[in-house]
């Protein structure tokens, strides 16, 4: 069994006995590998945000929260690679980090043979060119937008003027050339779109921002017509 298949099988084994634990020794015997290999596999799964934790004690081991994991999914190799190609385009957006963990979760939930075939197909897909994109979006910003925490930004406008602003995050505006943080700017007293590559410094406060309804006609960015993302 290759590593991808083994990691998938570990998740399924832990799911089957949840919330009871399985020890590293038991898993090593089950999959005919060393205890250290199991610990490395568990570590990789945890980094992919699979909800596995260690239960201490003689009868302890590794436990999994089955309510927060995917059951086996019937994605074909072509479908998995299609998702990977789409997620590749998230580089430089607020969702690049989440895209990586989403893809790893998807592969871990696929049937062993399909996951291996997806890896093989991906190695036969080649992308041309890699332009230097915008800097990565800080996790503190993306986390605060999701949690609606008021942000303190040091922002440089198109004229090169830097200001410190407290901003109530509303969402994002994305285009083919740039991504913007959409928020209520307390310095200007109105809705503003802040280009993410002009945010020089950002901190999240403990204050929760009020919910604000925004109409598309209120959003002013220097590109095209707006449309709202939907999950179909």
- Res. 48: pLDDT tops 60: yes
- Res. 216: pLDDT tops 80: no
Q: What is the mean pLDDT of residues 159-184?
A: 90
Q: What are the sequence ranges of the domains in the chain?
A: 3-68, 77-122, 139-218
* Closest residue by Cα to residue 210 from 194, 186, 231: 186
Quote the mean pLDDT of the chain.
85
Q: Which CATH class is domain 3-68?
A: mainly alpha
- Res. 185: pLDDT tops 80: yes
The reply to whether domains 3-68 and 139-218 share a CATH topology is no
Distance CA 92, CA 196 (A): 9
Percent of residues, the chain, with pLDDT higher than 70: 90
pTM above 0.75, yes or no: no
Sign for the CA dihedral angle at 102, 108, 113, 117 comes to: positive
Q: What is the mean pLDDT of residues 171-193?
A: 89
Distance CA 48, CA 220 (A): 37
Q: What is the mean pLDDT of residues 51-66?
A: 84
pLDDT, position 220: 74
pLDDT, position 156: 95
Q: Which CATH class is domain 139-218?
A: mainly beta
Give the tens place of pLDDT for each residue, 102-140.
888 788 778 778 888 998 999 899 887 665 566 788 889
């Amino acid at each position: 069994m290759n590593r991808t298949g083994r990691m998938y099988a570990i998740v399924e084994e832990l799911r089957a006995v949840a919330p009871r634990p399985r020890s590293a020794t038991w898993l090593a015997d089950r999959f005919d590998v060393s205890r250290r290999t199991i610990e490395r596999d568990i570590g990789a799964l945890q980094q992919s945000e699979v909800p596995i934790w260690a239960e201490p004690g003689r009868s302890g081991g590794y436990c999994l929260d089955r309510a927060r994991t995917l059951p086996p999914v019937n994605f074909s190799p072509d479908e998995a690679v299609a998702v990977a190609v789409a997620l590749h385009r998230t580089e430089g957006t607020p969702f690049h980090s989440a895209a990586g963990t989403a893809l790893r979760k998807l592969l871990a939930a696929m049937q062993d043979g399909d996951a291996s075939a997806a890896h093989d197909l991906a190695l036969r897909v080649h992308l041309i060119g890699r332009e230097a994109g915008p800097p990565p979006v800080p996790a503190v910003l993306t986390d605060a937008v999701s949690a609606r925490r008021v942000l303190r930004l040091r922002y440089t406008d198109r004229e090169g003027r830097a200001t410190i602003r407290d901003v109530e995050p509303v969402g994002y505006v994305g285009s083919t050339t740039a991504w913007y943080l959409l928020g209520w700017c307390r310095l200007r007293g109105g809705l503003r779109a802040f280009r993410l590559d002009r945010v020089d410094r950002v901190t999240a406060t403990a204050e929760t921002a009020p919910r604000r309804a925004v109409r598309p006609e209120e959003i002013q960015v220097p590109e095209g017509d707006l449309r709202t993302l939907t999950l179909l």
